[in-house]
Amino acid sequence: MDIARSNVLAIDFGTSNSAVAVLDNGAIKQLQMEGGSDTLPTAIFFDFATGETRIGTPANDLLISGAEGRYMRSLKRVLGTSLMREKRLIMGQYLNFFDIIGGFLSELKARAEHIEGRKFPYALSGRPVLFHSDPEKDHQAEGDLRECYHRAGFHEVKFMFEPEAAALANNVLDKNHSLGLIVDIGGGTSDFSVFRSNPKSEQPVEILASYGERFGGTDFDKTLNVRHFMPLLGRGAPLRRVLGSGTASTPAALYNDLATWEKIPFMYTPETLRTARDLERHALDRAPFKRLVDVLEYELAHELAMLAEKSKIATNQAAGNYIADLGMLEKGTEVSIASADLATMMSSHHSHIIGAVNQTLSLATCKPNEITDVIFVGGSSLMGFVVDALKATFPDAEFHTSAVFTAVVDGLALATAKP
């Protein structure tokens, strides 16, 4: 594919949000996939009442309004897994995730073509440094995404590492031979890259090393969800033993899956509901398990996950405690989340980030004090515990946050001009 041609669409298909852009007379042009915003949620709602499929903010709104249907999010995390090929009966059709993700990308393509008044048979897509730590699954994930682009109607697609795209977009550092670190924490993956900036050369940005891990903002949401919301559904509550005396613990896997975006659609089954009712029968305190049954029966787990995301952001910005309203479970139910405890709650993710940064520096054979600039990409990179960890590691570096949400798609658009 000759990506210098004008019919190439730059697409940042993200776990939480997606964006689309083109290069117009040498300038980046972000295409608004929904009114007034350069990004849209990577979310789909199959509306059973109308038979229509909605994406982005309307999908979220339908979920919140209580419309009957099937909601899906964190689609990117399914790539490379066996879930891709599992078919579900949705609105009279058996669909797998190739159909679902392909349909989402097809809608982005159609909207871009409507905005620009021209066809886009080719795509340049971002991809994380690692979809999965397992090389075979990582290779499969890119293959899966390629197939989704083909099903969306693109004749051909090329991929660029997301940190490399972000480095291109942030080539505003007029410092010859400076060393920069890209910290790209998306919804489902985190990528770290060390680059050398040399604006006067033919290669203004040279990637020295990249490293990625499979964790991101949705994992932060899950941590908060499991710790603060799932106990209201019985997590950790004692159960009477069927045989013998004493008590048993609730199954942790059920609650972990119920707080994991990509697994939630598979929790709404008669089997899981029977499990919840069985737990209720054997509980010393049945009230939490009654809520669990309601969550499964009325398919409220997505709303809980959205509230976890909202609470994470609000707690991160709060000076004191944030009060999360869980009236959806039971009128008057609230949970207080202390902003001071957020870093402690996220301690395992903090360790992941520091470990990944050190691994990236090792691959680039450079030391922390040699890094002059740190560029943040992805909304989750602005979590307080992330920023504090990086400031402690790079106390003398300059921090850049101006293109947190659009750096990847901006860099992809710039890359379409290169042969």
**Domain architecture of the chain: domains with CATH:** 8-163+409-415 (3.30.420.40), 175-216+346-403 (3.30.420.40), 218-336 (no CATH)
Encoded amino acid at 324, one letter = A
What does the DSSP assignment read for 212-234?
EES--HHHHHHHHIIIIIGGGGT
pTM metric for this prediction = 0.80
- Please list, in sequence order, all residues whose beta carbon lies within 8 angstroms of the beta carbon of residue 196, skipping any fewer than 6 positions away: 177, 178, 179, 180, 205, 206, 208
pLDDT at position 3 is 46
Question: For residues 252-282, b (16+ Cβ closer than 10 Å) or e, as one string?
Answer: eebbebbbbbbbbbebbeeebeebbeebbeb
Bridge-based pairing of strands 373-377 and 178-185 is parallel
Phi then psi for residue 92, to 5 deg, are 80, 5
Distance, CA of 158 to CA of 177 (rounded, Å): 29
With beta carbons less than 8 A apart as the criterion, state whether 165 and 331 touch.
no
- Please identify every stretch of the chain with a pLDDT value under 70, giving residue numbers as ranges: 1-5, 171-177, 199-204, 242-246, 419
pLDDT digits (tens, 9 = 90+) for 119-150: 999 999 999 988 988 999 999 999 999 999 99
Distance, CA of 228 to CA of 325 (rounded, Å): 12
